[in-house]
């Protein structure tokens, strides 16, 4: 079972939570009362942005067109990145927690407090 370390933008630990692989990251954060900003929970507002870090090798992830468009509209990625369907999971920058399934490995999840 992976362990998720939620940290704020300054790297201060917010919470440590165990999760099941495949659970949506936003659901895990909400159930654990992690102060992750979100509004819609449907991937249209862009407020649940997070950055994911882990010690394992980068792996390819496929982002939906909806998530890429919301990230682009929010100014979190550029048009070139929005055109790519496949990203490296840890170097992708921002993701939407409502679109991210928890993986098998432990993660550090950066939750900006803006």
Query: Residue ranges of the chain with pLDDT lower than 70?
Result: 91-92, 114
> What local confidence, expressed as pLDDT, does residue 57 receive?
82
User: How far is residue 14's CA from residue 10's CA, in Å, rounded to a whole number?
Assistant: 11
> What local confidence, expressed as pLDDT, does residue 114 receive?
62
Which tokens is 27 given? 């659901």
Domains of the chain: 3-111 (3.10.20.30)
pTM, full prediction: 0.88
> What local confidence, expressed as pLDDT, does residue 79 receive?
93
CB 29 within 8 A of CB 6: yes
Number of residues that make up the chain: 114
pLDDT tens-place string over residues 10-43:
889 999 999 999 999 999 999 999 998 888 877 7
């Amino acid at each position: 079972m992976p362990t998720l370390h939620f940290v704020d933008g300054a790297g201060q630990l917010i919470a440590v939570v165990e999760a099941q692989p495949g659970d949506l990251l936003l659901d895990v954060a909400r159930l654990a009362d992690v102060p992750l900003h979100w509004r819609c929970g449907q991937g249209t507002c862009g407020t649940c942005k997070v950055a994911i870090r882990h010690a394992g090798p980068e792996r390819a992830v496929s982002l939906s067109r909806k998530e890429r468009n919301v990230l682009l509209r929010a100014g979190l990625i550029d048009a070139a990145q929005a055109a790519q369907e496949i990203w490296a999971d840890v170097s992708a920058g921002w993701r939407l927690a409502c679109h991210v399934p928890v993986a098998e490995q432990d993660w550090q999840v950066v939750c900006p407090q803006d």
